[in-house]
């Protein structure tokens, strides 16, 4: 018990100055965790990082498939060129190459997307080639 100084005129002792108003157990402030920061979504590539001319032979094989119905297996020609690209980028490159060669989009796009799937590059569901 802290030392007390008795007062002549009162019956209640007072604590000395060194011990007055000092809480016995101080509460620690609550620990607030830092806010969770979610990194922003990275937009898909807007351009093809591949030299689109490299896809020319692939498109020629697709053209032979469209016009003649016979062609060297498309996967043998196209897949090595698309290797290392992400699915969405591979689809964008294929679309860009088709537009560059001014080929009929309605005929070539479904074939090109099927080639991508055959090469293990599954574009997002409902993917459409950009119009620009």
In a domain, 83, yes or no: yes
In a domain, 71, yes or no: yes
What local confidence, expressed as pLDDT, does residue 30 receive?
83
In a domain, 57, yes or no: yes
In a domain, 40, yes or no: no
**Span 48-56, average pLDDT:** 81
In this structure, what token pair is assigned to residue 4?
A: 């007390």
| Centroid of chain to Cα 11 | 75
CB 95 within 8 A of CB 129: yes
What local confidence, expressed as pLDDT, does residue 37 receive?
75
* pLDDT per residue as tens digits for the range 108-118: 888 888 888 88
In a domain, 106, yes or no: yes
What local confidence, expressed as pLDDT, does residue 1 receive?
47
What local confidence, expressed as pLDDT, does residue 17 receive?
52
Number of domains in the chain: 1
Helix (H, G, I), strand (E, B) or coil at 48: coil
Question: How far is residue 77's CA from residue 70's CA, in Å, rounded to a whole number?
Answer: 14
In a domain, 129, yes or no: no
What local confidence, expressed as pLDDT, does residue 5 receive?
55
The whole domain housing 62 covers 52-118
Question: How far is residue 21's CA from residue 115's CA, in Å, rounded to a whole number?
Answer: 81
In a domain, 107, yes or no: yes
* pLDDT per residue as tens digits for the range 59-100: 887 777 666 555 567 778 889 989 888 888 888 888 888 888
* pLDDT per residue as tens digits for the range 4-47: 555 555 555 555 555 555 556 667 888 888 888 776 655 555 67
In a domain, 131, yes or no: no
């Amino acid at each position: 018990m802290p030392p007390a100084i008795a007062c002549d005129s009162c019956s209640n002792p007072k604590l000395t100055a060194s011990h007055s108003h000092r809480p016995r157990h101080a509460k620690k402030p609550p620990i607030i965790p830092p806010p969770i920061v979610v990194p922003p979504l990275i937009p898909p590539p807007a351009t093809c990082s591949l030299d689109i001319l490299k896809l020319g032979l692939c498109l020629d094989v697709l053209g032979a498939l469209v016009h003649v119905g016979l062609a060297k297996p498309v996967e043998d020609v196209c897949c090595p060129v698309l290797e290392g690209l992400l699915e969405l980028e591979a689809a964008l490159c294929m679309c860009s190459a088709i537009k560059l060669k001014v080929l009929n989009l309605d005929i070539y796009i479904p074939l090109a997307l099927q080639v991508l799937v055959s090469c293990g590059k599954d574009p997002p569901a409902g993917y459409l080639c950009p119009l620009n």
